[in-house]
Amino acid sequence: MSIDTFASWLDQTPLSEALKNSALIIPAAQSVHILSVAIIVSDAALALLVALGLAGADWPLARWIGATGRRLGWALGALLATGTLLVAAEPTRELPNAALRLKIALLVPVIAYALWQRRRLARAEPAAAPRIATAVSLALWVVVVGLGRWIAYA
Amino acid sequence: MTGLLAWLAQTAPAQWLAHNPLAFPLLETVHVLAISLVLGTATIFDIRLLGLGWQGWPAGPLLTGLRKVALAGFAGALASGALLFLSQPESYAQNLPFRAKLALLALAGLNLALFEGRYGRQQASWQHSASVPAGARVQAGLSLGLWGAVLVAGRLIGFFLQG
């Protein structure tokens, strides 16, 4: 099945119809999506700042990473759920969008990298290179956010 | 007021925005990233003060450690937001969610100013949840609600924007 066929099929599903007919679900889903983005991006930024010693005084990074894990898990879940809803509301407009496609393609490696480096950092593995790992993760999320904003213009 | 808004639309930054198609989406991205720092740190503060999380982290030092990050995020959000406003001053000034967002921001700022005025000196000594005064917790709850409302109002601006 091509993406266009899939988009047309999704567009006709009861879920998509329900989303189109509700004035409240889309802005609500967008707000939750932005809140999830805020938690994920700030989490990546704070990890870098803690690694650089610029947030707090001598906070151990491994402990900080451990404290943020559950919050990040919820945010990632909400991000993917609301993102799916937003695409399902307008599949024939969203799925052919080049910025959205690139964003979805990038999300898999970005999330995988974020989770892998967090696990290493939480164990305080000496080879984890905390400053580089947290900086790379933040930079990747910034690219994802930029692509997300770009969907409206692509 | 109309004269001021028309003048703002003619200023150099407004003209720069009008002539650079990339400027607006780039500023929006900066705005989202800056807002992320504000919301990310504010939720950590408020959840800690309410005793709903971060229990292993003494409240006072947690607030002190993250304050600069929150302020830097707010400064970035304010600067990028002001530039975004300049792209269409008259449309934004009439936009109901935009007005609501400004009013909610003022309330969030007032809440923070009252909090700092009342607890600014003693908060460094807050260690366990029990040492956080009830009034500070009420203000933390208010802060969570206000920042959430600011986010929703901001998201609604585009739905009501004309022109």
Collect all residues of chain B within an 8 Å Cβ-Cβ radius of residue A25: none
Give the pLDDT of residue B151: 97
Which of B33, B148, B152 lies closest to A41 in CB terms?
B33
Average confidence score pLDDT of chain B: 93
pLDDT at residue number B131: 85
| pLDDT per residue as tens digits for the range B52-93 | 999 889 988 899 889 999 999 999 999 999 999 999 999 999
Query: Percent of chain B at pLDDT above 70?
Result: 99
Neighbours of B110 (CB within 10 A): 11
Which residues in chain A show pLDDT less than 50? none
Contact with chain B for residue A39, Cβ under 8 A: yes
Q: Which residue has the higher pLDDT, A127 or B118?
A: B118
User: CA-to-CA distance for B121 and B110, rounded, in angstroms?
Assistant: 18
Q: What is the pLDDT of residue A23?
A: 84
Give me the pLDDT at residue A115, please: 94
CB atoms near residue B15 (< 10 Å)? 12
Q: From B74, B87, B92, select the one nearest B154 (Cα to Cα).
A: B92
CA-based nearest residue to A38, from B154, B59, B62, B100: B154
Its pTM stands at 0.92
Q: What is the pLDDT of residues B86-104, one digit of tens each?
A: 999 999 999 999 999 999 9
Give the integer Cα–Cα distance in Å for B142 and B107: 10
ipTM, 2 dp: 0.91
CB A138 within 8 A of CB A45: yes
- Residue B163 pLDDT > 70, yes or no? no
B121-125 mean pLDDT: 87
- Supply the pLDDT for residue B127: 84
The ranges assigned to domains in chain B are 2-160
Give Rg (Cα) of chain B: 18
Q: Which of A114, A49, A135, A39 is nearest to B72 (CA)?
A: A49
Query: Over 80: is that where the pLDDT of B140 sits?
Result: yes
Interface test with A, best of B32, B36, B67, B156 (most A CBs within 10 A): B36
Size of interface A-B (CB pairs under 8 A): 82
